[in-house]
Structure 1
Amino acid sequence: MPEHSSDTGNNKALVLFSGGQDSTTCLAWALDRFAFVETIGFSYGQRHVIELTQRQVVRASIARQFPAWAERLGDDHLVTIEALAEISQTALTRDMAIEMDAQGLPNTFVPGRNLLFLTFAGALGYRRGLKHIVGGMCETDFSGYPDCRDDTVKAMQVALNLGMDRRFVLETPLMWLDKAETWRLAEALGGQALVDLIIEETHTCYLGERGALHAWGHGCGQCPACVLRAKGYAAYRDGVA
């Protein structure tokens, strides 16, 4: 647990929370470290809009199964940014096949998404007195998304601090972890109970399919998010480093 300081926001965090595996692990990570944690989610016309429903299911399950964390879990905030879908042409905001684009990026990349998310999180953190902003960005399993890079997050931290005259700290606990290591982190934080919660309640599938419950969770099993999650879970169960 971080020590308290004269900065009243020093031990308070805001988690970018989609209701998926990564953001749920980040929420557990924050609840394990900070005295007070709020969550923020975004409705941006995403194809997998079911994640907005699962956010509340996951929050309720965490509060019910982990009483110590429930005491630290504060308000949830949902921000609507439908203009993001209006100006983007991606497989996450349109009914189109998932494929690679001419630049070698998967067309699930929504340009500017994480930049906007962090900006809105900073604005909310400013008003709510929350210093630490926690996101699930990751360079190891990031599909090549440029807004998931460590350099991008560091640059956004500088921009937010200059533009809002605050000392936000952007935390990315998954930045250098692969999916197997993310599963291990969840187990270290909340044991098998948290692993089971992530499998049964979270949503990561890009196509928004819940369907059958696989060993690694719900999803179509074919989209890049499902394939990555399943592969990571298999490595985690097999104890592969």
Structure 2
Amino acid sequence: MHTRALVLFSGGQDSTTCLADALTRFERVETIGFDYGQRHHVELAQRGVVLREWRARFPAWAARLGDDHVLDVGVLGRVSETSLTRDMAFRMEAGGLPNTFVPGRNLLFLTLAAALAYRRGLTVLVTGVCETDYSGYPDCRDDTMKALQVALSLGMDQRLLIDTPLMWLDKAATWQLAHDLGQRADPAGGGDALVQLIVEHTHTCYAGDRTQRHAWGYGCGACPACDLRAAGWARWRGERGAG
């Protein structure tokens, strides 16, 4: 029986939604983040803000929320020539992938998360990867996650689950999921409260911009991450009849 989970928590929209989902389904949840020299380093600061606001607004969930861990994996940034680890323009590469793709990032993150989970007695790794409404990263695909789950379970000699609650959701559905989970946790306005927490405190923008406030949150409004988040917000609000 899997009752204890480790959420790969970046401080962004997707991982915050995954955290809500995990706290709904598991008895004990811990979080892990990674400092890899990312250009949008501000996301690491926002992680703490989100967790603090989370504990204050949702006490029932806070009772299940355990320790937070941050690992230094700067070597990943040093071996990566990408627009997430270097000051360069966002563009598509000749091979068809955006230059925001950091090779091996999710593979390394999940391997390190599995090692920590082993030591902490956690058997589920929750990650916000998605291949429905995403940038085309090969290490976000369902097949990659299934293969890695097998490899990690064999390598750790224990059954580990890689849980991907957003895999088949587009960004509009992710906003809706956050609302539904918040409402379930607190029927007296929890849905709107969780959405507003995500809007106000999470960080997605690859440029690390928190000077510009949009309806969907802070960001440059032009990078691929902002485009996905903004488009999902617009679709979700339109589907809800809010214009």
- TM-score, normalised to structure 2, is 0.95
How many residues are paired up? Answer: 233
1:162 to 136, 141, 154: 154
- Cα distance in 1 for partners of 2:144, 2:55 equals 32
SS in 1 for 2:30: strand
Task: Quote the residue 2:197 is aligned against.
Answer: 197
Tell me, yes or no, if structure 1 residue 98 matches structure 2 residue 87: no
Task: Quote the residue 2:20 is aligned against.
Answer: 28
Q: Which string of whole-angstrom CA distances, capped at 9 and with x for unpartnered residues, describes residues 127-185 of structure 1?
A: 00001100000001221100000000001100000001011110000000000000000
What residue identity is the alignment partner of 2:210?
R
Once the two structures are TM-superposed, the CA of residue 213 in structure 1 deviates from its matched residue by: 1.6
Maintained 8 Å contact 2:4/2:122: yes
Q: Which string of whole-angstrom CA distances, capped at 9 and with x for unpartnered residues, describes residues 49-108 of structure 1?
A: 000000000011111100100000000000011110111100000000000011010000
Maintained 8 Å contact 2:83/2:100: yes
What residue identity is the alignment partner of 2:32?
I
What residue identity is the alignment partner of 1:85?
G
Q: How does 1:107-146 map onto structure 2 within 5 Å?
A: 107-146=99-138
Task: Quote the residue 1:206 is aligned against.
Answer: 206
What residue identity is the alignment partner of 1:200?
E
Task: Quote the residue 1:231 is aligned against.
Answer: 231
Task: Quote the residue 2:178 is aligned against.
Answer: 186
What residue identity is the alignment partner of 1:150?
D
Task: Quote the residue 1:216 is aligned against.
Answer: 216
SS in 2 for 1:151: helix
Task: Quote the residue 2:37 is aligned against.
Answer: 45
SS in 1 for 2:6: strand
SS in 2 for 1:76: strand
Task: Quote the residue 2:47 is aligned against.
Answer: 55
| Structure 1 residue ranges without an equivalent (≥5) | none
What residue identity is the alignment partner of 2:36?
Y
- Cα distance in 2 for partners of 1:206, 1:141 equals 17
SS in 2 for 1:221: coil
Task: Quote the residue 2:8 is aligned against.
Answer: 16
Task: Quote the residue 2:185 is aligned against.
Answer: none
Once the two structures are TM-superposed, the CA of residue 235 in structure 1 deviates from its matched residue by: 0.4
| Percent identity for Structure 1 against Structure 2 | 67
SS in 1 for 2:47: helix
- Cα distance in 2 for partners of 1:31, 1:25 equals 10
- Cα distance in 1 for partners of 2:13, 2:142 equals 20
Aligned Cα root-mean-square deviation (Å):
1.0
SS in 1 for 2:113: helix
Q: Which runs of 4+ in 1 moved over 2 A?
A: none
**After the TM superposition, which of the residue ranges 209-218 and 197-206 deviates more from structure 2?**
209-218
- Cα distance in 2 for partners of 1:211, 1:172 equals 31
What residue identity is the alignment partner of 1:105?
L
SS in 1 for 2:162: strand
- TM-score, normalised to structure 1, is 0.95
- Cα distance in 2 for partners of 1:196, 1:181 equals 16
| Structure 2 residue ranges without an equivalent (≥5) | 183-190
What residue identity is the alignment partner of 2:151?
A
2:168 to 166, 171, 176: 176
What residue identity is the alignment partner of 1:56?
G
- Cα distance in 2 for partners of 1:132, 1:221 equals 34
Once the two structures are TM-superposed, the CA of residue 212 in structure 1 deviates from its matched residue by: 2.5
**After the TM superposition, which of the residue ranges 198-207 and 212-221 deviates more from structure 2?**
212-221
Task: Quote the residue 2:187 is aligned against.
Answer: none
What residue identity is the alignment partner of 1:170?
I
